[in-house]
């Protein structure tokens, strides 16, 4: 337990950081202040702050694992990422029961009743197809999976299973209604629950999904209207959240605009459009309407349980974290499933190779401190074959 008693005002300089080490927990840290609390821009604070009869504030870009309380003054934040501290006997959240995906698991992009069309170069890990119409514009060299150019037995099974998945998600009882759908995101932090938004929803800035160190926690987000994103919006997974455990059900069209980073399996009943530079760590599945993509990257997040993914990667399990990253990347790979030597290649936004690292063991760590902030792409290769590809984000 750490208790700091401050006899007057308490301030922090710009970019101050409280670092917990050797088992220290933010839930065991307390700051009792007999005056105003003013935290400078970019401060990373840990613990519960109590300002007695005075204001408390955190300037732009601050992060707080803890709480901010005042017994008699205003509380002001500016673009703050804040979440309750973990541990200390708090009840772990698990969220709802995940739907059974069936054959939809294999698909990254799919429509039950509409054309699936791509323009420009789109990189996909997973199957692509439609059960009504045609799938066009995808290059076999850019798709690690099967391109179903026309309806077949696989797309028929996917269409049937998608109805089950959509209905299962729609039937979930919401725990929490989010009351400002037109201002969704904006550094909002969600924990594992079933959420509902009852009107047209716009995802802006950043949405954080916090699994509270429970890697099996499920997030279900229901939108009872159209879903759109602003340019450069992103969904960020923190504290163990996994893309395979995030589900969206949208009763309307879906428009993922340029340079959006989206996470999870999204099931809709209207058209789906992905703008240039967008990234999907999950699946985009619609029961009706066209699906269009334009120079984007889509990676379905689990190992396919049926046919679809190329045989060379059927048994390959790859996890790269954190993403976004700052100073290093961790690569977890079952190397025993590969037929030859593996290496990870990282490219910048204009396609220049900037890093090529051999992968020789299950857990690997790569120092990335010299990479400036921005968007990068990776490819895992074995015997000169692309096993996995995707998008990485550097944030300094």
Choose the weakest-confidence range: 270-274, 306-310, 333-337.
306-310
The number of domains in the chain is 3
Is the N-terminal amide bond of 324 cis, ω within 30° of 0? yes
Choose the weakest-confidence range: 26-30, 98-102, 321-325.
321-325
Rounded CA-CA distance 136/30 in Å is 58
> Averaged over 230-243, what is the pLDDT?
92
3-state helix vs strand vs coil in the chain, percent to 5: 10, 45, 45
pLDDT at 370: 80
Q: Does residue 93 lie in a domain region?
A: no
Summary mean pLDDT of the chain: 89
Q: Is the pLDDT of residue 312 over 90?
A: no
Q: Is the pLDDT of residue 326 over 90?
A: no
Q: What is the CA radius of gyration of the chain?
A: 22
Cα end-to-end distance, the chain, whole Å: 31
Check whether residue 203 and residue 125 sit in a common domain: yes
pLDDT at 217: 95
Rounded CA-CA distance 14/42 in Å is 6
Q: Is the pLDDT of residue 176 over 80?
A: yes
Residue with tokens 């300094």: 396
Rounded CA-CA distance 342/317 in Å is 13
Select, from the ranges 292-301, 354-363, 369-378, the one with the highest average predicted confidence (pLDDT): 292-301
Q: Does residue 50 lie in a domain region?
A: yes
Rounded CA-CA distance 321/319 in Å is 7
Check whether residue 209 and residue 350 sit in a common domain: no
Identify the domain boundary among 26, 53, 83: 83
Q: Does residue 117 lie in a domain region?
A: yes
pLDDT at 171: 95
Say if residues 252 and 227 touch (Cβ distance below 8 Å).
yes
CA atoms 357, 363, 367, 373: torsion sign:
positive
pLDDT at 184: 96
Identify the domain boundary among 242, 267, 299: 299
pLDDT at 384: 65
Q: Tokens standing for 342? A: 């593996």
Q: Is the pLDDT of residue 341 over 90?
A: no
pLDDT at 67: 96
Check whether residue 253 and residue 340 sit in a common domain: no
pLDDT at 321: 78
pLDDT at 63: 92
Q: Does residue 92 lie in a domain region?
A: no
> Averaged over 336-359, what is the pLDDT?
78
Q: Is the pLDDT of residue 306 over 50?
A: no
Q: Does residue 306 lie in a domain region?
A: no
Measuring CA to CA, which residue among 227, 245, 246 is closest to residue 185? 227
Q: Does residue 304 lie in a domain region?
A: no
| Confidence tier at 307 by pLDDT (50, 70, 90) | very low
Q: Does residue 18 lie in a domain region?
A: yes
pLDDT at 315: 53
More confident position, 130 or 333: 130
> Averaged over 60-72, what is the pLDDT?
94
Say if residues 52 and 58 touch (Cβ distance below 8 Å).
no
Say if residues 298 and 108 touch (Cβ distance below 8 Å).
yes
Rounded CA-CA distance 251/295 in Å is 26
102-125: pLDDT as tens digits: 999 999 999 999 999 999 889 999
Enclosing domain of residue 238: 102-299
Check whether residue 61 and residue 203 sit in a common domain: no
Q: Is the pLDDT of residue 331 over 70?
A: yes
Choose the weakest-confidence range: 154-163, 260-269, 320-329.
320-329
Q: Is the pLDDT of residue 242 over 60?
A: yes
pLDDT at 310: 35
pLDDT at 313: 41
Q: Does residue 88 lie in a domain region?
A: no
> Averaged over 161-174, what is the pLDDT?
95
Check whether residue 271 and residue 322 sit in a common domain: no
| Confidence tier at 222 by pLDDT (50, 70, 90) | very high
Which H, E and C letters describe 116-154, residue by residue?
A: EEEECCCEEECEEEECCCCEECCCHHHEECCEECCCCHH
Give how far Cα 381 sits from Cα of 125, 148, 192, 387, 390, Å: 14, 24, 34, 5, 12
């Amino acid at each position: 337990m750490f208790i700091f008693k401050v006899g007057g005002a308490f301030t922090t300089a710009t970019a101050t950081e409280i670092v917990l080490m050797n088992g220290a927990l933010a839930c065991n840290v307390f700051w009792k202040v007999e005056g105003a609390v003013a935290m400078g821009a970019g401060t990373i604070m840990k613990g519960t702050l109590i300002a007695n009869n005075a204001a408390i504030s955190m300037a732009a870009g601050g992060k707080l694992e803890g709480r901010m309380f005042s017994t008699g003054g205003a509380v002001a934040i500016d673009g703050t990422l804040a979440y309750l501290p973990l541990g200390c006997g708090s009840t772990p959240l698990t969220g709802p029961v995940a739907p059974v995906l069936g054959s939809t698991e294999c698909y990254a992009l799919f429509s039950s009743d509409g054309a699936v069309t791509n323009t420009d170069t789109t990189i996909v890990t997973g199957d692509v197809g439609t059960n009504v119409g045609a799938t066009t514009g995808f290059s076999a060299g850019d798709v690690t999976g099967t391109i179903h150019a026309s309806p077949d037995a696989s797309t028929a099974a996917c269409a049937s299973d998608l109805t089950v998945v959509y209905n299962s998600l729609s039937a979930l009882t919401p725990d929490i209604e989010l009351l400002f759908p037109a201002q969704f995101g904006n550094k909002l932090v969600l924990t594992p629950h079933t959420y509902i938004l009852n009107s047209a929803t716009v995802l802006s800035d950043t949405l954080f999904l916090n699994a509270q160190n429970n890697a099996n926690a499920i997030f279900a987000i229901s939108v009872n209207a159209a879903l759109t994103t602003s340019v450069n919006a992103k969904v960020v997974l923190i504290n163990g959240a996994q893309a395979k455990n995030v589900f969206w059900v949208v009763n309307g069209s879906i428009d993922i605009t340029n340079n959006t980073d989206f996470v999870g399996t999204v099931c809709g009943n209207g058209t789906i459009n992905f703008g240039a530079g967008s990234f999907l760590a999950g699946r985009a599945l619609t029961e009706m309407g066209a699906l269009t993509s334009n120079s984007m990257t889509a990676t379905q997040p689990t190992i396919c349980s049926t046919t679809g993914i190329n045989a060379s990667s059927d048994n390959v399990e790859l996890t790269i974290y954190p993403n976004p990253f700052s100073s290093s990347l961790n690569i977890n790979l079952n190397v025993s499933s590969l037929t030859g030597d593996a290496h990870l290649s990282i490219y910048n936004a204009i396609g220049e190779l900037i890093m090529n690292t051999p992968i020789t063991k299950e857990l690997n760590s790569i120092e990335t401190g010299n990479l400036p902030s921005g968007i990068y792409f990776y490819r895992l290769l074995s015997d000169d074959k692309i096993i996995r590809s995707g998008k990485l984000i550097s944030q300094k």
